[in-house]
Amino acid sequence: MIKIDESTRKQFLECYNDREIMLEGHILKLIDSTGDQEFDSYIKIAIERDADNRRKRIDFNKEVQKQNTQLKKTEAENNDIKKRLRDALTTAEQAKNLAINDLEELQKRSQVELIGTIVKVSLWIVCAVGLITTLLFGISLFTGVDNKIVESAWSNMFGILLTNSFSIIGTIMGVKYASKKD
Amino acid sequence: MINSILLVDDENLFHLIFEDACNLLDITLSLKSLNSAEKAEDYFKEIVAKTRKRPDCVFVDLNIIGSAFDGVELIRKINFEYGDNVVIGIISSSDDQFEQAKAMKAGAQFWMVKTDEIEPRLEQFKKDFDAYLNRTQKFTVYK
């Protein structure tokens, strides 16, 4: 225990009487005031005041701690909501991209199908024209009718058809390549 | 009264609450608070190197945020590397029995649940302290 000398004791008491300033903290519990009623009363009041202050501080700190815990909880909830929103946004973005891709695919496919139909019809026309011309030329050959005009028409027609056939075959190949799935 | 206590907890606000509670309950006049497991380990290394007096009792938080290892690991280190008859235990907001078993295995003598009302638990701990010091008190959970 700590013994306080007379002069220091007097100064402590004066300080309290004049300005209401007292000792505080753990040191109060180490001061020996036995046998001195006035100083003993001073120490008791100081300990009580210190305890009051500590009680107030402890209550305040507990309140702050509670609020901190609540804030942390709210922050965690907010982060969770943000994460879920981000995930939902990503899913929506993916669905949108998928829909756009499907639409493009559909448009491309219908275009390809149209081209395919045109090509098929053209091929049938080419074959039909070729067959009819050949048939006419054959008839004119067997019947002995003047076949100069049919002959030249047949050869011209056949040449044109042959050239066009390559073009059509090329188109068919192109269409097939374009419509091929990855 | 316990001569000296060391508190290891990352929450600085809890240091103040603990200190005030210890003062109001006359538990100790000498309390040191550290906020990381590394600092606590360094503190014990220094005690061993300079052959200074160890704290009588150590309260360690279970999850010391910002530290390389947790409270259980710190208890293991203090117990098996630096400690010598130090009463040591966990102070945590968790009441997980699995963690309590782990802490006990590491050498913890008590587990104090950290909630708003810490004072009654500290008061009970103060009563049991001598038994902890004599190693006659079994592992206790204060909740």
The token duo for A121 is: 């019809």
Confidence at residue A45, expressed as pLDDT on a 0 to 100 scale: 92
Q: How many angstroms separate the CA atoms of B47 and B53, rounded? A: 7
CA A173 to centroid of chain Cα atoms = 42
Confidence category of residue A142, pLDDT binned at 50, 70, 90: confident
Q: Name the band, by pLDDT with cuts 50, 70 and 90, for residue B73.
A: very high
Q: The domain at B5-142 falls in which architecture?
A: 3-Layer(aba) Sandwich (3.40)
Do A61 and B21 make contact, defined as CB atoms within 8 angstroms? no
Long-range contacts from A173-179, C-beta under 8 angstroms, 24+ separation: A175/A112, A175/A115, A175/A116, A175/A119, A178/A108, A178/A112, A179/A109, A179/A112, A179/A116
Note the pLDDT tens digit of each residue in B44-56. 998 888 878 889 9
How far, rounded to the nearest angstrom, does the alpha carbon of residue A153 sit from its chain's CA centroid?
A: 69
What is the model's pLDDT at position B41? 92
Say how far apart CA A163 and CA A136 lie, in whole Å.
21
Query: Can you tell me the distance from the alpha carbon of A76 to that of A55, in angstroms, rounded to the nearest whole number?
Result: 31
pLDDT at res. B88: 94
A61 CB within 8 Å of a chain B CB: yes
Over residues A61-85, the mean pLDDT reads 93
Please list every residue in chain B whose beta carbon sits closer than 8 Å to the beta carbon of residue A55. 20, 24
- The predicted complex's ipTM stands at 0.74
Read off the pLDDT of residues B99-130 as tens digits, 9 standing for 90 and up: 999 999 999 999 999 887 889 999 999 999 99
Asked whether B58 and B31 are in contact (CB, 8 A), the reply is no
Mean pLDDT value across chain A: 86
CB contact under 8 A, B16 and A30: no
Cβ <8 Å between A57 and B24 = no
Question: Are A26 and B26 in contact (CB < 8 Å)?
Answer: no
Can you tell me whether residue B90 is helix, strand or coil?
strand
Containing domain of residue A168, as a range? 2-179
Question: What's the residue count for chain B?
Answer: 143
Is any Cβ of chain A less than 8 angstroms from the Cβ of B14? yes
Give the DSSP letter of residue B28.
B
Cβ under 8 Å to A: B residues 96-135:
116
pLDDT on residue A182? 55
Q: What is the pLDDT of residue B122?
A: 93
A15 CA: distance to closest CA in chain B (Å)? 25
Distance from CA of A33 to the nearest CA of B (A): 18
Considering its fold, how many domains does chain A have in total? 1
pLDDT of res. A171: 77
User: For residue range A7-51, what is the model confidence (pLDDT) as tens digits?
Assistant: 999 999 999 888 888 998 888 888 988 888 899 999 999 999 999
**Does pLDDT of A69 surpass 70?**
yes
What's the mean pLDDT in B85-93? 91
- Note whether B20 contacts A26, CB cutoff 8 Å: no
Token digits for B61?
A: 């938080």
Mean pLDDT of B88-100: 93
Q: From the centroid of its chain, how far is CA A177?
A: 36
Helix (H) or strand (E) holding B89: strand B87-92
Nearest to B1 by CA among B110, B126, B95: B126
- Given a contact cutoff of 8 angstroms between Cβ atoms, the answer to whether B8 and B74 are in contact is yes
Nearest Cα to Cα of residue B57 among B81, B11, B90, B17: B90
- Which chain A residue has its CA at the smallest distance from B31's CA? A26
The per-residue pLDDT for A181 is 57
CB contact under 8 A, B17 and A61: yes
Rounded Cα distance, A137 and A131, in Å: 10
- Nearest by Cα to A9 from A43, A48, A50, A45: A43
